Chain A
Amino acid sequence: MESLGIIVAFYLLSAIAVGGAIGVFLASDLIRALAFLVLSFVATAGLFLTLSGDFIAIAQILIYAGAIPVLIVFAVMLAPLAGRNNGNGLYLVPGLALGAAVAVTVAFVAVDVEWNELSGALLAERDFATTANAIGNALVGRYVLAFEIASVLLLAALIGAIVLVREDEAT
């Protein structure tokens, strides 16, 4: 945190992200909740940008603001009851409990960890041009096993989806 501008940006983006998340919770219309969700995701991408994580910010927009809403849109279009005014709070209490648990965990980690703070010359020393190269090298270098497992998992999911929706040719 060097100048005031980035602090203002941090609080502004955080406010938008948290406000969007609250909007998701309060909106009774599923599509409105979706719009709030996208707002929250975009603000989170902005937070990543203030941390110079360009790749992760773009990935956030691509996956969370671009792809996840489409998934929800498909759910809305395919499910008969997911139309307007679906504000029946069947899972209100378990949802609140789960959310509180996640929030407490994250808060505990954030407070408990000794964050390695760098600023000024120390930060400039560790500076690298882009995170894309570093992430790519890490993915096919140190974490190649996890990467391969994830790709096998995705392939299995893909094949499973094809098998599930395949029309039976005998009938």
Chain B
Amino acid sequence: MSSTLRQGRRRPATRVPPGLMIVGAVFALGFLAANAAIGYVVIDGRLDGQWYDIRDLGFAVQELKAQLDAINDDQPGFLDDIVGQHWMSYAVGALLGAIGILSFIGGALLVLIWVERRLIGRMQIRRGPNRVGPYGLLQPVADAVKLIQKEVLTPDGADRILFLLPPAIIFVPMMTAWGPVPWAPNMAYLDINVGVLYLIAVSSLTTLAVFLAGWSSNNHYALLGSMRTVAMMISYEIPLSIALLSVVLITGSMQLSEIVQWQADHNLWLIALLPIAMVTYFFSSTAELNRTPNDIAEAESEIVAGFHTEYSGMKFGLFYAVELGNALLVATLVATFFLGGWSLFGLEEWIPGYLILFAKLSAAYFVLVWLRGTLPRFRLDQLMRFAWQYLIPLSLFNLLIVAIEASLLARWDAPGLVTLGLFTVVNWGAAYILFRDWARRIGYQPDAGGPRRAELTQQVGGIEAAHRMGTAT
């Protein structure tokens, strides 16, 4: 019966005018020629380390800094004694990086809201925002304007000062955590030696801002939401940290650029070597993000909007922006730690590293949206039990295995293909056994009565059936 249903409306074929085709062909030929020229220069090695090497914007910044230092040496200013020599290159470098990060996040926030809502719309068989501008692209702008226009309320009995602070505080960890991300071999804003630790430390500051928001609102729902958030965050910080610890163990560095360099050198993404750490990190991060499989902190059906119930206008907008920015950050970190960062098996010689990283983080972000669009919400006790009884023991087992492997790797003088290949096989076997058997051990039983395979909504009828019945608008 389902086969007789029409699967979608055919669109009338549109004709492209010949003039446009000619222009397009010229552009395509020019693009190919430019690529060939770039390829020639790259093979020639003429581009390596030059300031116009757009594969790595770090070179341009270094060149600029050298120029500024030269100017500084020629004409010493009064600030040289006060701030220190070469202060100009420090200031310009810091400003450039900060502006780069800010503009990337700002631009991404504008587009991401639209992307996320459209994607979730597709997954839930509806259209998503499509009214404001072409394809609804201006929807985020409209949302922002609406939020700015709205009145910013402070509830009666709220702690006024503490109520004011959290939307501003919560922005700081989200922005600063972008610092150590390496976008290309020389293109990291804050390439510190303790990068991994820095990320964990900075993201742990979010907890306090969330609690202050809930506490100062003088609202039961807000307090409940922030209590849930605090409990959830400290539970999921443990598996998250242990997962990152196994990454540090195997790569032997806490510096993010070195972790990516290790993956590039060994031509191996850590997702292949550490599947348990990858899954643990990804899931724990979704808990830290308050996104849908784990959004008990702002479960609409239970506690209104959780910790930001009382926030209105642009204050709510800030919370919303931080949530999206954190999701993007987690996607970036997953891409950096487990998907090889800017490396792509030698292709980074040709494609700019930041574009590769952007492609990877988009893929990771898509998975985040996918989880949000498909999975139902956990209950609070289920979520806690999942962290303490499942993820933490698993990640501890994983840490033990990885520690043995790391010490083997340091002592065993064998080719990388042998050792890392062996470790990969062992780790995937361990992942399979641990994931399956530990779930059974703590009482998970596969559902025997349900359908064996997932049934597509379209097979049952979907939006077309709704159209024919006349219930869809």
Q: Which A residues lie at the B interface, using CB under 8 A?
A: 2-5, 29, 31-32, 34-35, 38, 54-55, 58-59, 61-62, 65-67, 69-70, 73-74, 77, 84, 129-130, 132
Contact = CB atoms under 8 A, between A and B. Distances in A.
A73 to B, nearest CB: 5
B82 interface: yes
B261 to A, nearest CB: 16
Given A4-B81, A5-B83, A54-B192, A38 B197 contact: no
7 contacts: A35-B208, A54-B193, A61-B201, A70-B207, A70-B230, A73-B208, A73-B211
Interface string B138-163: 00000000000000000000010110
Contact of A58 (B82, B197, B207, B234): B197
Nearest to B218: A84
**Overall SS of chain B's interface:** helix
B212 interface: yes
Nearest to A74: B230
Contacts of A130: 193-194
Contacts of A73: 208, 211, 230
Nearest to A136: B254
B194 A2 contact: no
A50 to B, nearest CB: 13
Nearest to A130: B193
A38 B227 CA distance: 19
Contact of A67 (B197, B204, B254): B204
A55 B197 contact: yes
Given A35-B162, A73-B230, A3 B82 contact: yes
A35 B194 contact: no
Contacts of B165: 35
Given A54-B194, A77-B227, A61 B212 contact: no
Given A3-B84, A62-B201, A77-B227, 15 more contacts: A3-B83, A5-B83, A31-B216, A35-B162, A38-B208, A55-B197, A59-B197, A62-B200, A66-B204, A66-B207, A69-B208, A70-B208, A70-B230, A73-B211, A73-B230
Interface in B199-257: 200-202, 204-205, 207-208, 211-212, 215-216, 227, 230, 234, 254
B390 interface: no
Contacts of B227: 77
B194 A132 contact: yes
Please indicate which of the listed interface residues A3, A84, A129 has the most CB atoms of chain B within 10 Å of its own CB: A3
B202 A61 contact: yes
Contacts of B215: 31
Contacts of B193: 54-55, 129-130, 132
Nearest to B234: A70
Contacts of B200: 62
Contacts of B201: 58-59, 61-62, 65-66
B386 interface: no
Q: Top 10 A-B pairs ranked by shortest CB distance?
A: A66-B204, A130-B193, A62-B201, A3-B84, A61-B201, A4-B82, A5-B83, A58-B197, A69-B208, A58-B201
Contact of B162 (A3, A32, A132): A32
A147 to B, nearest CB: 16
B170 to A, nearest CB: 13
B171 interface: no
A129 to B, nearest CB: 6
Contacts of A4: 81-83
B306 to A, nearest CB: 16
A2 B394 CA distance: 50
A65 B201 CA distance: 8
B205 A61 contact: yes
B198 interface: yes
Nearest to B192: A54
A40 B252 CA distance: 33
Contacts of B162: 31-32, 35
A34 B212 CA distance: 10
B234 A32 contact: no
Contacts of B212: 31, 35
Contacts of A31: 159, 162, 212, 215-216
Nearest to A32: B162
B84 A2 contact: yes
Contacts of B194: 54-55, 58, 130, 132
A67 B234 CA distance: 8
Nearest to A84: B159
A130 B196 CA distance: 14
Nearest to B87: A5
Interface string B63-102: 0000000000000000001111000000000000000000
Nearest to B211: A73
Contacts of A29: 159
Contacts of B82: 3-5
Nearest to A65: B205
Interface in B321-363: none
Nearest to A3: B84
Nearest to B255: A130
